[in-house]
Amino acid sequence: WTFIPANDGVLTLSTTNSTFDTLMALYTTNSPTTNVITFSNLVAVADNDDAYDGVTFSKISQTVLANHVYWIAIDGFDGASGV
């Protein structure tokens, strides 16, 4: 997914209530003038496996800047899947 905030602020994402063990990451680009986005020009700004000990959902809270493009990646830990 992509996200472009209208204002500076804090973005909070969570996979609470997912049925599988999740991983999550938030990326921006180090090459804002390019129209081609590849993994090599993405910069991780936040990532999380387990929000806290004893749970399998992920949570990120990150300061974001207005009009910057952010990419959100969610995956299953060790190939896990679900809803």
- Please provide the DSSP assignment of 20-55 as one string: S-EEEEEEEES-TT-S---GGGEEEEEEES-SSTT-
pLDDT tens, position by position, 44-65: 999 999 998 889 999 999 999 9
In this predicted structure, what is the pLDDT of residue 15?
A: 95
pTM of structure: 0.84
Query: Which regions of the chain are under pLDDT 50?
Result: none
In this predicted structure, what is the pLDDT of residue 73?
A: 93
Q: Tell the residue number behind the tokens 């929000």, with chain if given.
A: 51
Judge whether 29 and 41 are in contact, CB under 8 Å. Answer: yes
